[in-house]
Amino acid sequence: MTYNSIAFIVFFAVFLLIYLLMPKVGLRQAVILIGSIIFYKYACGWNLLAVILVTSFVVYFISRSIEHVYLGYEKEKEGLKPKEQALLFAKFKKKSRKYLLFAMFLVIGILIYVKVGGLLQWKRVFTVSQVFQWKTYLVPLGISYYTFSSVGYLLDVYWKKTKCEHNYFKLLTCMIYFPHIVQGPISRYPKLIKQFNELPGFSYERVCFGIQRMLWGYFKKMVVADRIALFTSTVYYTPSDFAGIEIVIAVVLGAIELYADFSGCMDIVIGASEAMGIVLDENFKQPFFSRSAAEFWRRWHITLGTWFKDYVYMPVAMSPSFMKFAVKIRKKFGNRAGQVISAAVPLVIVWLLTGLWHGTGSDYIVWGLYWGILIILGTVLTPDFKKLNNWLKIDTSAFGFRLFQMSRTFCIFCIGRMLTVTGSLEGFAVMIQQIFKEHRLWTLFDGSLYCHGLDQKNFYIVLFGILIMWGADMLQDKGGIRESLAKQPVLLRWGVYYGSIVLVLIFGMYGSAYDASSFIYGGF
């Protein structure tokens, strides 16, 4: 059941009506849990539902066990001197670490099995003939996302940053919550649990805002992303058959396709959650306005970046052994070398893991290193770039320079995307070869460009959709669009609402011959 299917729209409409009719918080909590289980069951069947249920029980049991260990320490430390307390705490923490490692082995082990299984062809292929008729497949829906959320929760309990949840069903609801189970955002359980405890009743404004956000997501997904996919999938499948200019167009449109697809999904799920009164973390903040690689990843897939920062980068960078190593480097090679090592080593680890999170092929490993090296170079060379700009007397605040930086970042993103779209580094090499050897610029004028899944009319629709997205991002970057729209006259507001619905109905990719395509990041 994909978010852009008729089945989901009907499911959510019925679910939301039942949810809003519930008079008490406890009943609304039950509706969310039951609805999420139904969604998961229809998405991938009872067998894989059992996998997430077992995982949730492991996370619940281990978090309670860690808490129990720390409670034992609190009882035994009374009357002891500070040094004795420190020794006792180390003893109890070692015990709690055993529980943590056991849970990590099980939870992350399943994820590794799935990821490596894809590389070794352990996974069975799944297909969709029509909505609700799924063949059994091995990969649990959303495993990359709920695994990271669960690991973060266990580490926070272990580090005593948060209290463990005593109600198993609330923890299960956090894990299986249907708006974020498919492709995020990667949520923090304590934040969600707090909201589940305070579920608000019906609010006309909140429901309207949520549906508006969902409608915008459907526009990006069904009008822009799915239409572009008709062209890009054809080019990516056999790049050697296409002219260099066609590949360049496919890569540029493919970057926009990925953004429209992923951010469109986020708009749908965040809007659906907002209609219920639950706020999910934002995952995008106009990433194509970024002026550097580092800024791009602070605006793109934000929750993944913050997760790696909190649970990988900081633990590595702040670990005693690594800090001692960095001090030795600084003493031997100077302050700058120490700073470079301090930033580079954790970043390389983070980006290797980020690449492996997206996929286990060599293309994703290279992709991770590609981004890691660019961000490291950008961080290390920032002082030198500032000196160069001052020497050349470049006004870095000028619109022209900012546009250059944004264009550069977009090109960097496109090259990174090329590394993975064909499924192999050999495919990437073929694309590069075609771009530089087989230009064939005449394909822009002889009509052959419109023979690869997207005719001229649909190309114009894509360009129209891109302009609307760009304009919306510009306005959103300056302030909230929905809040501003809500202050406009009634006729204007409802004109925009109905106009948006008409755009999706007229230009959206659907119909009897259309099979609701999965969201790209749902495969990670």
**What are the backbone dihedrals phi and psi of residue 284, each rounded to the nearest 5 degrees, phi first?**
-140, 145
If you average pLDDT over residues 313-338, what whole number do you get? Answer: 85
Q: What is the pLDDT of residue 228?
A: 94
Please write the tens of the pLDDT for every residue from 350-377.
Answer: 999 999 888 878 889 999 999 999 999 9
If you average pLDDT over residues 376-403, what whole number do you get? Answer: 87
Identify whether the C-beta of residue 138 lies closer than 8 Å to the C-beta of residue 117. yes
Please write the tens of the pLDDT for every residue from 208-239.
Answer: 899 999 999 999 999 999 999 999 999 998 88
Prediction pTM value = 0.88
Q: How many CA atoms lie within 13 A of 249 on its CB side?
A: 22
State whether residue 197 is helix, strand or coil: coil
User: What are the CA-CA distances from residue 142 to residues 11, 486, 509, 522 (Å)?
Assistant: 19, 35, 25, 7
332: which residues sit within 8 A by CB, 6+ positions away? none
Q: What is the pLDDT of residue 521?
A: 61
Quickly list DSSP for 185-216: ----HHHHHHHHTT-----HHHHHHHHHHHHH
Which neighbouring-strand residues pair with 300? 284
Which neighbouring-strand residues pair with 284? 300
Task: Give the type of residue at 383.
Answer: P
CA–CA separation, 316 and 342 (whole Å):
10
Q: What is the residue extent of each domain of the chain?
A: 6-202, 206-523
Say if residue 117's pLDDT is above 80: no
Say if residue 193's pLDDT is above 90: yes
Please write the tens of the pLDDT for every residue from 40-69.
Answer: 988 877 778 888 999 999 999 999 999 999
CA–CA separation, 497 and 211 (whole Å):
10
Residue 195 vs residue 74, higher pLDDT: 195
Identify whether the C-beta of residue 296 lies closer than 8 Å to the C-beta of residue 409. yes
CA–CA separation, 418 and 209 (whole Å):
36
- Residue 239: both structure tokens together: 């790049």
Which neighbouring-strand residues pair with 128? 134
CA–CA separation, 256 and 247 (whole Å):
14
Q: How many CB atoms lie within 10 A of CB 110?
A: 18
State whether residue 391 is helix, strand or coil: helix
Please write the tens of the pLDDT for every residue from 480-500.
Answer: 777 777 777 777 777 877 787
If you average pLDDT over residues 177-205, what whole number do you get? Answer: 91
